[in-house]
Structure 1
Amino acid sequence: MLVEHLGRSPKIHPDAVIAPGALISGDVTIGADCQVLHGAVISAEGGPIVLGEHVIVMENAVLRASASDPLRIGDHCLVGPLASISGARIGNEVFIATGARVFNGAVIGDGSEVRINAVVHLRTVLPPNSTVPIGWVAVGDPVDILSPERHDDIWARQSELDFPGYVFGLDRETPDLMVQLTERYARHLSRHAEDVAVDPAP
Structure 2
Amino acid sequence: MLYQFDGKQPQVGSGTYVSELAHVIGNVIIGDQCYIGHGAIIRGDYGRIVIGDGTAVEEGVIIHAPPGDTQTIGRRVTLGHGAILHGRSIGDRAVVGMGAVASIFSQVGEGSIVAEGSVVKLNNTIPDRMVAAGNPARVVRAVTVQDEEMWSYGKQIYIDLAAKYLEEGMIPVA
TM-score (norm 1): 0.66
For the pair 1:40 / 2:14, whether they are aligned, the reply is no
Matched with 1:165 is none
AA at the equivalent of 1:115: A
AA at the equivalent of 1:20: E
Matched with 1:127 is 127
4+ residue segments displaced more than 3 Å: none
Matched with 2:136 is 137
For the pair 1:52 / 2:55, whether they are aligned, the reply is no
Higher RCO, 1 vs 2 (CA within 8 Å, ≥6 residues apart): 2
Comparing 35-44 with 64-73, greater Cα deviation is found at 64-73
Matched with 2:90 is 90
The CA deviation string for residues 81-131 of structure 1, in whole angstroms up to 9 with x for no partner, is 110000321110100010000011111111100011001011111110121
What percent identity do the matched residue pairs reach? 29
Could you say which structure has the larger radius of gyration? 1
- Counterparts of 1:67 and 1:6, CA distance in 2: 14
Matches within 5 A, 1:5-16: 5-16=5-16
TM-score (norm 2): 0.76
AA at the equivalent of 2:77: C
Matched with 1:75 is 75
User: Contact 2:131–2:139 at 8 Å: present in 1 too?
Assistant: no
Q: Cα offset for 1:68?
A: 3.6
Matches within 5 A, 1:99-118: 99-118=99-118
Q: Cα offset for 1:146?
A: 8.0
The answer for unaligned runs of 5 or more in structure 1 is: 139-144, 148-202
- Counterparts of 1:83 and 1:69, CA distance in 2: 20
AA at the equivalent of 1:121: K
- Counterparts of 2:124 and 2:45, CA distance in 1: 21
User: Which protein has the bigger strand share?
Assistant: 2
The answer for unaligned runs of 5 or more in structure 2 is: 141-174
- Counterparts of 2:116 and 2:23, CA distance in 1: 24
